[in-house]
Chain A
Amino acid sequence: MISERDYYNALEIRHGKDNQKKFNGATVAICGLGGLGSNVAIALARAGIGKLILIDFDEVDITNIHRQQYKVSQIGMPKTQALKENLLEINPFIKIEAFQTKITEANVIDLVKAADVVCEAFDNPEAKALLVNTVLESLPEKYIVSGSGMAGFGSANLINTKKISKRFYLTGDGVSDVNDGIGLISSRVMVCAAHEAHMILRILMGECNP
């Protein structure tokens, strides 16, 4: 078994001691554990983020496997539990708090208030808007990183990260809507998830530009 010290020494070699200290001390809330959220969680766990708050009401379904970080053996499990297991295999030292619940106006602040950065990773546009609006209105000291527009087989190069305002970052192409019947493709969703995860790391490092 690898020790926690060895694990973090290896991360320090890659990321630098100062950055790693910031990552280890950070808490990130991931809201929605589908194609975006499950991939963001894995990137952040590999980077050695200290604590993740995982929030999703759903269970792993056979139609998730093509783009979400679950296994066939996990079909039927709550996504919170399945992802926690997978993350702890990658990083046994990460702290994880998991909530199997639907985010609503009534519970959102309590769920994300311990986080330094909130990652919006829902698939429903109304849920995306609710979370972003609530965090910006009620938790002005938090950063929020959101994803909008990653469906279909369009060019991966159209997906980018924009800084909308001081604490609000938006990733995606802004327009590719799954409700237009163009489907969700693992590789393109992962590009968007990587933009979210990368921006979160940059924020934690103190780099505020996309």
Chain B
Amino acid sequence: MVQINGESYNVSGKSLDAVLADLNFDAKKIAVEINEDIVPKANYPQVLLKDGDTVEVVSFVGGG
């Protein structure tokens, strides 16, 4: 299982960009950290999620 924003998902082995798309995240408005390390945007397609990973997806909303 993979923890994404505090919830468990059965997505180990899937690519990060596929999982983000499934969960309806807009890739242009997010920052993603896996086990507290930033994932460079360009690497989203190559990064495969592993059992035990903790993923934090920060979604930015408008206003400032």
Q: Residues of A at under 8 Å CB distance from B?
A: 32, 34-37, 121-126, 128-129, 132-133, 136-137, 146-151, 164-166, 168, 170, 172, 174-179, 184, 189
Known contacts A137-B40, A165-B38, A170-B58, A132 near B31 by CB under 8 Å: yes
Are A34 and B61 in contact, CB atoms less than 8 angstroms apart? Answer: no
Q: Mark B24-64, 1 if CB is under 8 A from A, else 0.
A: 00001111010011101100000000000000101111111
CA distance A174 to B61 in the complex (A): 7
18 contacts between A and B (CB under 8 A): A34-B64, A121-B64, A125-B59, A128-B60, A132-B58, A136-B31, A147-B64, A148-B59, A148-B60, A150-B64, A164-B33, A165-B33, A165-B38, A174-B59, A174-B61, A177-B63, A178-B61, A178-B63
CA distance A129 to B29 in the complex (A): 5
| A184 proximity list for chain B (CB < 8 A) | 63-64
Known contacts A36-B64, A125-B61, A147-B64, A164 near B28 by CB under 8 Å: no
